[in-house]
A and B are shown apart, each in its own frame.
Chain A
């Protein structure tokens, strides 16, 4: 059975009917055929002559050879095995070995709606591949002009769920990151509450804000976003707190890609100042913090979720997992239900 048709598989590779970030935009170079495994799919990424990015299955419709081993032909890709040519819509435009055969003109290559935003390539993985995608709605800090941001991209040897857990667990900031430049202050114990929002929830300390990693928001709609704030020390200069917008995508059951947009609400000379300090020194400090998270996540046992003893700080994890599992079960049921009989046309 296709793992993407099971509740457990969808938990491992990510829910469908979501936009997932695949890679930084610059990873897909003009004239190149890039192969990536993301969200349980084997993908081919390429840019057409106009630079528009396309995301398709890395599988020749003829005999399943890897199109990524083929030839980039500007507005189409030619498979290297038998020369079959497929365009950006997924239509076979030429079968040189058998011109005029029935395969020509058929739209048979799975093609995923693709967008670029914030320096990353996103693709829509729909439950129903013929249905149009939901709009790609991005969180405020990476949507507009009032914010500056830098994208940090990482690949970790850990299930994507462990990163999601980590992001929804603000309390680890005061312990794991206690020696960092941003999370050295604040209480070592806290009481949290969950506040429902339109598309998810905010998980926050009830008695401390603006001191450490004190709140986090999960947005679960047409994409899965985690947003959080960490206060900057005075040395970072004028501007708002350090804000992270994170999105994750599975590479395999035990590996994932992490996208961390590091944002700050700053404009004018203050923006230039933050961008300079970020490039010159803050990036290295932020990265050192992320490395602590990576080491923790990569060392976790594969069955971490099977034997845990959670306490009050973990209620956001519990809520998130319940949310995902319910949605995964619903999607798995839809994917495995027998096709509905075709509607009888009304005379």
Chain B
């Protein structure tokens, strides 16, 4: 079972994407308007968002 944070993050991400927002600045702005925050509680930036995706995606393929 993924951590509840991952599920919440996934929920928000799917909701943002579902509205047709697929560009980085748009996604970051939409996430900041939501309740989901990175672990340090700060606002999302493009670099913190992409770093979080890299962390969550795992490395093996």
Identity of the chain A residue whose Cβ is nearest the Cβ of B2 in the assembled complex: A280
Q: A269 and B7: CB pair below 8 A?
A: no
**Chain A residues with a Cβ closer than 8 Å to the other chain, count:** 20
Select one of B13, B20, B22, B24 contacting A277, CB under 8 A.
Answer: B13
**Chain B residues with a Cβ closer than 8 Å to the other chain, count:** 21
Q: A272 and B7: CB pair below 8 A?
A: no
Contacts of A272 in B (CB 8 A): 50, 53-54, 56-57
Complex CA gap A252/B19 in Å reads: 47
Complex CA gap A32/B15 in Å reads: 46
Q: A281 and B10: CB pair below 8 A?
A: yes
Q: A271 and B57: CB pair below 8 A?
A: yes
Interface SS of B by simple majority: helix
Contacts of A277 in B (CB 8 A): 10, 13-14
Contacts of A269 in B (CB 8 A): 24, 49-50, 53-54
**Is residue A108 within 8 Å, beta carbon to beta carbon, of the partner chain?**
no
* B9 shortest CB reach to chain A, Å: 8
Contacts of A59 in B (CB 8 A): none
Q: B58 and A275: CB pair below 8 A?
A: yes
Considering the complex of A and B, which 4 residue pairs feature the smallest CB-CB distances, nearest first? A275-B57, A272-B53, A272-B57, A238-B22
On A, residues with C-beta under 8 Å from B are 148-150, 233-238, 268-269, 271-273, 275-277, 279-281
- Can you spell out 25 A-B residue pairs with CB atoms less than 8 angstroms apart? A233-B18, A234-B18, A234-B20, A234-B22, A235-B15, A235-B17, A237-B17, A268-B50, A269-B24, A269-B53, A272-B56, A272-B57, A273-B13, A273-B53, A276-B6, A277-B10, A277-B13, A277-B14, A279-B2, A279-B57, A279-B58, A280-B2, A280-B6, A280-B10, A281-B14
